[in-house]
Amino acid sequence: MKFYQRFAYYSLGMIIGLVFLIMFLNGKEMSCSYFPNARVLKDLRTKPFHYSDEATAKLNQKWVDTSDIRKTLTYGDVIFNKSNIPTGSGKLYVIEGRNAKNEPITLEVINYSDKVFLKDIKKE
């Protein structure tokens, strides 16, 4: 078999495979979160979110709001040497991010199996 014939068979198989792949993956919401930081933040975003009284008081001070918290849970950095500490039936995570005024903030979040509890918000 000559080269152009092999190339034609290869191309035909690749095109058919791509068509099946596009049909299979079309409309699926896929995300690849392999790194520990991305996996922790994704897990925290997918669970119901609850606020402590201390965090609610700081939200009422208007230097931080819930959109800053959501943004920090999407783009923040988990500080692993201060995180993954067992507290009761959950684990404490410390996440650094920024508010709308580009000021650094730190979230202390307790991750339970069925919910996420915002323990405190600190302004650095």
- All structural domains of the chain with their residue ranges: 34-123
* DSSP states along 32-80: ---SHHHHHHHHHHHS-EEE-HHHHHHHTTTSS-HHHHHHHHHH-EE-T
pLDDT confidence bin for 55, thresholds 50/70/90: very high
> pTM for this structure?
0.74
Q: Please indicate whether residue 75 or residue 31 has the higher confidence score (pLDDT).
A: 75
Thinking of the domain 34-123, which architecture would CATH place it in? 2-Layer Sandwich (3.30)
pLDDT confidence bin for 30, thresholds 50/70/90: low
pLDDT confidence bin for 62, thresholds 50/70/90: confident
Angle at 19 (CA atoms; ends 15, 24), nearest 5 degrees? 145
